[in-house]
Amino acid sequence: MAKIVEGLKYTEDHEWISIEGNIATIGITDFAQSSLGDIVFVELPDAGEELEATNSFGVVESIKSVSDLYTPLSGKIIEKNSTVEDGPESLNEDAYGAWLVKIEMTDTSQVDSLLDSKAYSEYCEANS
């Protein structure tokens, strides 16, 4: 079973979200990185880019496939993790330690539509 961290929010697209005030830190889950296999490339948008919820904001490429990343929240990117772009294998080593982007949310009510750790765990079990 993939590692699921309590206290985070999750999406059915296998992103995790940490919320602090109106800042959301977004990464991919352990379930996602396990499914993808060895990650060899990550492309992320630059700071300042505006994101709309459910739109693609980047790409993760593994030895098995290429997958789009989808933002669960609307907002403006305030920081991207260049370390992940330079060393994508860090996602395989620690999916929860290797965040992708931080956004300043424009609509904090969108957080209510995200899954908690229990609901995400049940979703993963039902879909694996």
**Which residues of the chain fall below pLDDT 70?**
1
CATH of the domain at 87: 2.40.50.100
Residue-number span of the structural domain to which 64 is assigned: 9-108
| Residue 113: inside a domain | no
Q: What is the pLDDT of residue 127?
A: 83
| Residue 3: inside a domain | no
Q: Which of 103, 124, 115 is nearest to 6 (CA)?
A: 115
| Residue 4: inside a domain | no
Q: What is the pLDDT of residue 1?
A: 59
| Residue 115: inside a domain | no
| Residue 120: inside a domain | no
Q: What is the pLDDT of residue 95?
A: 94
Record the tokens describing residue 63, joined without a space: 């030895």
Q: What is the pLDDT of residue 76?
A: 97
pTM of the full predicted structure?
A: 0.94
Q: Which of 60, 127, 68, 119 is nearest to 95 (CA)?
A: 60
Domain count, the chain: 1
Cβ atoms 99, 82 nearer than 8 A: no
Q: What is the pLDDT of residue 21?
A: 95
CB atoms within 10 A of CB 66: 11
